[in-house]
Amino acid sequence: MSFSPYGSPGPEDRRPEPAGQPLLPVSELPPRPVSPGARAGRAYGVVVRQESQVSSNHQTLGLTVLEFRLAEPGNPQPLDVLMRGRSLSGTVRDGDWIELAGPPDATNRWNVAKAQNLTTGSTVVVVGGRPNKVVTAVVLSLVGVLMLGVVLLMIGLFALGSS
């Protein structure tokens, strides 16, 4: 059994995984056909929790995290799914059929902002996740250029005042 790198698993995640045997039979199908390029399976070990994150300007952000495992028909290895953001819209319950699009990250975990609940027909979305690293880098660069300009202006004024 694998454990979450984000803390100890809850009691819902203690389901044994049979080695080499599919969690779902190949004959079990989702309620509707899966979109091209997407993957679908039944969710289990569903956990919703709250996290705190301190941003670069020392503000504390409250994040909602939805974590579950996805058992695909005929696949012996379940997929780990993580959705993290400031707010969560939609629901995922144990046994719901869920459709995911996109590739997994380097740790073979699906970090997604959107999923389709095929059982209820609803879209599950997280909004306002972690700050974008590119935006943070651009803002920090602009602050650095502004500070450099102020220092050069002060040096210029000091040189003018001493002559």
Structural domains in the chain (count):
2
Q: Any residues with CB less than 8 A from the CB of 1 and at least 6 apart, and which? A: 13, 14, 15, 16, 17
Which pTM does this prediction carry? 0.61
Residues 150, 108, single domain; the answer is: no
User: How does pLDDT run across 67-114, given as a tens digit for each residue?
Assistant: 999 988 877 788 899 998 888 899 999 999 999 987 777 787 888 889
Residue 153 three-state SS: helix
Domain match, 16 and 95 both: yes
Give residue 146's domain range.
Answer: 132-163
Same domain, 88 and 113: yes
Q: Report if residue 2 sits inside a domain.
A: no
Q: Are residues 41 and 92 in the same domain?
A: yes
Q: Report whether 84 contacts 130 (CB < 8 A).
A: yes
Nearest Cα neighbor of 86 from 126, 135, 136 is 126
CA dist., res. 15 & res. 13, Å (int): 6
Q: Tell me the sheet residues that pair with 51.
A: 63
pLDDT category, 131, cuts 50, 70, 90?
low
Same domain flag for 108 and 140:
no
Three-state DSSP class for 33? Answer: coil
Domain assignment present for residue 106? The answer is: yes
Rounded Cα–Cα distance for residues 103 and 89 (Å): 22
Q: Does residue 38 sit in the same domain as residue 94? A: yes
User: Do the Cβ atoms of 48 and 65 come closer than 8 Å?
Assistant: yes
For residue 127, CA distances in Å to 65, 75, 93, 99, 149 come to: 11, 30, 20, 18, 37
* Host H or E run for residue 49: strand 39-54
- Who wins on pLDDT, 138 or 122? 122
Whether 29 and 71 map to the same domain: the answer is: yes
Same domain? 37 vs 84? yes
95 contacts 81 by C-beta, under 8 angstroms = no
